[in-house]
Structure 1
Amino acid sequence: MPSYNEIEDFLQDPSFVEWASGNEDFFWSSWIAAHPEKQELVRQARQLLIAVQDQEPDIRDEEINREVRRFIELARERKTVRRRKLLIRWGAAAALVLLLLGGAVVLYRFPASETTPLAGAKLEEKINDSDRDLTFSLSDGTRVTLRKKSRLVYPTQFNTSFREVTLEGDGFFDVAPNREKPFLIYADETVVRVIGTRFWVETRETDVRVSVRSGKVSVFDAKEFKREYTREGAGRDLKGVVLLPNQQATFTLETRQLQKGIVEHPEVIATNPDELTVEDRPVTEVFRQLEKMYGINIEFDEKRLKGCPVTVAFTTEGLFEKLQLICEIIGARYETVDGQVIVSGNGCQPAHE
């Protein structure tokens, strides 16, 4: 996320403006708790926004719009612009125009809504300073496992419309189901949203990775998530990646790109998986059986491969080893794309050495 080294860095974030204006936001409460060295900057930025609320409240909409347009035009015409501030209060919303070197930034304080993540509970934290995994339960029954040098900030009780926590490091979550209160994990530049499922969240220097064991998980760019949830119709246009068992999403911090894939070692998710010892069976049936075992979609040309019989007995091989062996038998190849397996080949000719 942004470095927040200047007051303006905070003022350019609509969710900070919302929080600083008196609406408690769990993300900012936990972020400040995790960054005590930024408290003075936060205090100054918050005081500035509080001052906005003390300004004359009777400024009309057209006056605000006219001033905003004037400042933007001025910024475009001049290569070097001195920093100026326009502090305006407008009913339930405040507009703050900052002229910075080389451009103009328009900020709005959005009115609070029921869909804005809020938190009024006391925050607690768990830090794993040991060399072993640390497992504990949250008030809703969710089980969390932290790897060493990892930290979780969470409320004592989940009393709002969201169950929100902030993770630094790596954590495994077995989330207690509750459709009325989605579970949100803020991890570096991502937001993970779930109802009830089991998954890992791993934060590293260059990326954040979410991998799912069971259930369904949605992963979002934190910047997009906060922007959508600070406006009317919150979340309606929110775009993210939906993950199913044995799928993962990697968010690259530098490019802010979310990439969907398959976990390195897929696990069998079928309750009673069939034994994969087949004799002279169509390969299409074997692929469908693998889909059920691992919950991963396998795409292939049904017409081209339906006449290809295979005889194979698997023991402890993983999914990718199974696929590789099958493809060698029928002279095909496979690749993983966007969280699924794509098999391509010309028919039933075995691969040449």
Structure 2
Amino acid sequence: QSKRSGRITRRACAHPAFRNAKHDEIEKELKDGGDAMVGEALIRPSAKKHDCLAVHWLVRPGIMKVIEVGEEDKDTDASIGNILKIKNEVFSGIDELLSRYIMSMNDRVEQIVHHRKFVDKMEDEVDEDLKAAKKKSPAGIYYQLCWNEDYPGYISLRYIINSARSHHIGLSPDGFVWGRQSYPSIDRLLNDFKKNPRGPPGSSAAKVGATANKSKAQAPPPKPSERTSRWGSRNAPASTSSQGSAWASTSNGPPPVPVSTWGASNADNGSGWGKDQPAAPQRPPPPSLPPPPNQGFQPSLPSGPPPSFDSGWGASSSSQRPPPPSMPPPPHGYPPPPPQGAPMSGYPPR
């Protein structure tokens, strides 16, 4: 294989999207097709490199983007490579390249042009609209999306804080690219933009803003010996009783959290709870209780004779209860039970 210098190497390819033509011829064919050709792509041999193709993609009416495609695993010089590559994307042929890459890029274009923040205006016109909105309401931060005039296939994110500025937004089959970060949707990209409008995450402008914000941060956290526990104050270990707790140290002042005096009888317990606070009032002692029964305690008995009980349960007296009253005869002439000790013969069966 010999290198070419500006000469088109014809390829033996019968694909309907392939042309053995020059750049101007492909561009004229796409633009002359009008709106019906928007989103379509034609492929030709590259005039810059050998083993390379050029894809002409009509992004919008009158605007075309040229995408370089590398070829690998070629059978002959005149054949199309069995492996086609666009940056890190690998395709097995022209059909897969058109379906996976070009159609996905057309989907990104549709998402942009139908977004609420997109306006089909020139960049200068968008800047004038932003300045007018800023003048009407100085406290607001305004932004719009429009096509990038310098780079075909790119979006311009125009915004104004003190003056009109912009960011370049790229399109990819996977989503939208801002700096080195890729986003699956334009709304996620705009959310990051609102957090740091000066630049994408990881850029030099973003680092400058982060450094400025960091300088305004609070003082560094205290040393481990002075850091308060999120579980509350704890008693100091016995081995460090001579030093005491950092909260209990009078030289360091009061602790940073409110001090509780629940159950604090003195300030020398080393825990810091109630340290340097007035001692809580002492509770009055509870009333004394009588000694337990096993220590000779005998309860006092009431005076007078014991009351009489009719139930007889546990009664020690020998008095018998009076007999119960006699029962009336049963209805329907049912014979009474036989006297005690009489045989049960003649008694109706149950």
TM range (shorter): under 0.3
Structure with higher strand content:
1
Largest Rg, 1 or 2: 2
- With CA pairs under 8 Å and 6+ residues apart, which has the higher RCO, 1 or 2? 1
